[in-house]
Amino acid sequence: MNSLTHPGAWIHLDWVLVVVVAWLLIGLAGVLALRRFRFVAVVLFPMGACFSVLLMAVALSAAFASPEVAVLPLGLPQLPFHLRLDSLSAFFLLLIGGVSAGVSAFAAGYFRQGEGTPPGLICLEYHVFLASIALVVMADDAYVFMVVWETMAFSSFFLVMANHRIPEIRNAGYLYMLVAHIGALGILLCFGLLQANTGDYTFANMRQQHLTPFWGSVAFVLAVFGFGAKAGVLPLHAWLPEAHPAAPSPFSALMSGVMLKIALYGMLRVAFDLLQDQIWWWGVLLMTLGLASALFGVVFSTVQVEMKRLLAYSSIENIGLICTGLGLSLLFFSYGMQALSALALTAALYHMISHAFFKSLLFCSTGAVMHATGERSLGKLGGLIRTMPWVAWPTLMGVLACGGLPPFGGFVAEWLLLQSFLFTTGLPSAFLDMLVPVMAALIALIAALSGYTMVKYFGVIFLGQPREEKLQAAHDAGWWERMGMLWLVSGCMLLGLFPNQVIALMEPVTKSLVQAGLAHTASDNSWLLVPVSMERASYAPAIFLLGVLAAFGLAFVLVRKLYHGRMRRVPPWDCGHPWQTARMQDTAEGFGQPIRQIFEPFFRMKRHLPSAFDAQPHYRVTVEDPLWYWLYLPVARLVERVSRIVGMLQQGRIAVYLMYSFATLVVVLLVVKR
């Protein structure tokens, strides 16, 4: 059989299209079997997961191949779909395939009968979403890009609204849609500038254009605005903590793990590939926005008391860190320092892929916990490690990866980022040179705070005593859920332990974007990660892990050999307090309290303290996002006022409307005549 796009031979691009078509067919099958719950769960979702694995394999092989292009006779006349599969697309396809394989397997066991949208419809929306994101990273003209981008936005909107009977979820979905479309407007305008009045919207044409510094900067700022809104970069982050908790957990996992990265893909494509003459302050802008988002995200995530909101804020933090890496890379690139640019870009790409795995894992774990207990508030959980070990231990791995601890992928990314900050001295501008150490200090602070958040997340949910009676009866995850989570855990582990192999995958990407790579230093020593030179820095996670485990094992064996291993179970000691209740533990609020106190100016906080004479004393604290009051509500009020003025035109009488048409016609004629 010959390929559609290239008669004669099958190329990688065809295989990706096969996966896309297969996903669409699975979605259709879901519609046909609208309410046949077992069929959708046990057949369709696992089939989707199989195609994800296929996509992963194709992407792995395409990463090292030369770029492939295809023109599909779809779309409008004269406007066919241009597709292109290069190393950057392949990297993102790998990310999509790897994460969605685990999440689809998890979803097979996740959806329950009689919850919100019928299962067949969810299956359709889910697979259309997957197909559209796979096409976004392959789009090679602005038209197809916007079509699949909007398909992605709509399918994800319906997934967020899966439980649309709850009013908060409807609000969250509306906010998400609004921000997505304001962002899409920015992207559309950006493409309009990039084609530079040639009328040709293919990316190949955009690469040829050299915009003036002013219009180039406008295009860049529009891209940062448009893609930043989708990625949750400050100040357009407000939809993220609303939409993530609203969506069903497997879909929150895909949104946070994959969709945010696709937005960053867009930023990367425009800033490094489509725009030609980079200017230094673009990098500084991106770094500043990134650091602000990261600090804001991590500080807010420490004080959250709802598990999915906590993770959503943590996603804002991670996206911020990735943007910082991208910004640094752009800064170096604009000064022609390609090797350092490649280092920072590798750090950002590494962070993207490891965040995709660990954050999807954590969102899946919240889904399993919510199913088992019916609770999403941290204050009502606790002690689940004893009833749900299959969820708790994989989550622990995800938590360690998210906290940026060795030997997991998150640490490698942070390590690379700090390395690229540390060797910055030598930038042409003294001011920038000084700024860089301060930024490195902030990154270190953010990384340490994320450890705090993760200890809170894991400790409050899984450790301690159950805070509610019913938690004793919580059931463990099913087999499909376990398989999905273990797949994601193995991803986190591989990313942490084999950085050189992962970086080898990124080398074609950095080579094509900034004309330099790291892999030549990395491949000399297959165990050691050596980004610059041996004397400067090296890190070997596998040896690191072996060292800790060897010491662990030796201590374990020697204690038993030299002494003994006797143990007795007794009631907890707790300084001799005879009775202990679960309510004496720290609550989620309590765990966040020091951070609330230290970072007080960040929050808009309302606190109600009981007085000594209250008959029914209670303590209440609410923490809100100040940006909501400083930015969103004023803008909303302004829009409302403007629309009221515009509304005055609206009379509801046909004669008046005809009058408007007549007036418009006259004005147009006057203009045209001249």
Two structure tokens written together for 606:
């309302």
Of 220-228, 260-268, 416-424, 483-491, the segment contacting other proteins by CB under 8 A is 416-424
Q: What residues between 128 and 147 interact with other proteins by CB under 8 A?
A: none
Helix (H, G, I), strand (E, B) or coil at 68: strand
What is the phi/psi pair of residue 403, to 5°? Answer: -75, 0
Q: Which is nearer to other proteins, 219 or 540 (CB)?
A: 540
Task: State how far the Cα of 53 lies from the Cα of 185, in Å rounded to an integer.
Answer: 34
Task: State how far the Cα of 149 lies from the Cα of 533, in Å rounded to an integer.
Answer: 41
Residue 422 contacts other proteins per CB under 8 A: yes
Q: Which is nearer to other proteins, 57 or 396 (CB)?
A: 396
Shortest CB 252 distance to other proteins, Å: 24
User: For other proteins, how many residues bind (rule: CB under 8 A)?
Assistant: 86
Task: State how far the Cα of 674 lies from the Cα of 670, in Å rounded to an integer.
Answer: 7
Q: What residues between 455 and 484 interact with other proteins by CB under 8 A?
A: 455-456, 458-460, 463-465
Shortest CB 435 distance to other proteins, Å: 10
Shortest CB 272 distance to other proteins, Å: 27
Q: What residues between 282 and 301 interact with other proteins by CB under 8 A?
A: none
Among 128, 240, 400, 486, binds other proteins (CB under 8 A): 400
Of 150-158, 198-206, 435-443, 488-496, the segment contacting other proteins by CB under 8 A is 435-443
Residue 438 contacts other proteins per CB under 8 A: yes
Shortest CB 153 distance to other proteins, Å: 37
Residue type, 393: W
Residue type, 349: L
Residue 31 contacts other proteins per CB under 8 A: no
Task: State how far the Cα of 284 lies from the Cα of 331, in Å rounded to an integer.
Answer: 7
Q: What residues between 355 and 394 interact with other proteins by CB under 8 A?
A: 382-383, 385-386
Shortest CB 412 distance to other proteins, Å: 10
Q: Which is nearer to other proteins, 138 or 416 (CB)?
A: 416
Tell me the Cα Rg of the chain.
26
Checking DSSP bridges between strand 79-85 and strand 68-76, what pairing results, if any? antiparallel
How many other CB atoms are there within 10 angstroms of residue 354's CB atom? 27
Q: What residues between 574 and 603 interact with other proteins by CB under 8 A?
A: 574-575, 577, 580, 582, 584-586, 590-591, 593-594, 597-598
Q: Which is nearer to other proteins, 145 or 591 (CB)?
A: 591
Asked if residue 407 has a cis previous peptide bond (ω within 30° of 0), the answer is yes
Q: What residues between 537 and 576 interact with other proteins by CB under 8 A?
A: 537-540, 543-544, 547-552, 555-556, 559, 562-575
Helix (H, G, I), strand (E, B) or coil at 515: coil
Q: Dmax of the chain from CA atoms?
A: 102
User: What is the residue-wise DSSP string for 600-616?
Assistant: GGG-EEEEEPPPTT-SS
Q: Report yes or no: 70 and 10 within 8 Å, Cβ to Cβ.
A: no
Q: Report yes or no: 64 and 7 within 8 Å, Cβ to Cβ.
A: no
DSSP-derived letter for residue 64 is T
Q: Of 12, 69, 85, nearest to 508 (Cα)?
A: 85
Is 23 exposed, middle or buried (CB count within 10 Å of its CB: 0-12, 13-18, 19+)? buried
Q: Which is nearer to other proteins, 65 or 405 (CB)?
A: 405
Q: Of 303, 171, 181, 302, nearest to 242 (Cα)?
A: 171
Q: Which is nearer to other proteins, 90 or 401 (CB)?
A: 401
Among 16, 88, 255, 447, binds other proteins (CB under 8 A): 447
Shortest CB 498 distance to other proteins, Å: 14
Q: What is the dihedral angle through the alpha carbons of 145, 151, 156, 161, rounded to the nearest 10 degrees?
A: 150
Shortest CB 75 distance to other proteins, Å: 49
Residue 165 contacts other proteins per CB under 8 A: no
CA distances from 567 to 16, 336, 564 (A): 57, 63, 9
Shortest CB 489 distance to other proteins, Å: 16
Shortest CB 452 distance to other proteins, Å: 5
Shortest CB 422 distance to other proteins, Å: 6
Q: What residues between 215 and 234 interact with other proteins by CB under 8 A?
A: none
Residue 441 contacts other proteins per CB under 8 A: yes
Question: How many CA atoms, within 13 angstroms, populate the side-chain half-sphere of residue 318?
Answer: 35
Shortest CB 297 distance to other proteins, Å: 15
Two structure tokens written together for 351:
């962070």
Shortest CB 411 distance to other proteins, Å: 6
Two structure tokens written together for 486:
């273990």
* Angle, vertex CA 240, rays to CA 236 and CA 243, nearest 5: 135
Of 313-321, 350-358, 449-457, 636-644, the segment contacting other proteins by CB under 8 A is 449-457
Residue 619 contacts other proteins per CB under 8 A: no
Element containing residue 623 per DSSP (H, E): strand 620-624
Of 111-119, 451-459, 479-487, 659-667, the segment contacting other proteins by CB under 8 A is 451-459
Task: State how far the Cα of 307 lies from the Cα of 589, in Å rounded to an integer.
Answer: 12
Residue 630 contacts other proteins per CB under 8 A: no
Q: What residues between 503 and 542 interact with other proteins by CB under 8 A?
A: 528, 534-540
Shortest CB 388 distance to other proteins, Å: 11
Among 27, 248, 403, 496, binds other proteins (CB under 8 A): 403
Residue 425 contacts other proteins per CB under 8 A: yes
Residue 396 contacts other proteins per CB under 8 A: yes
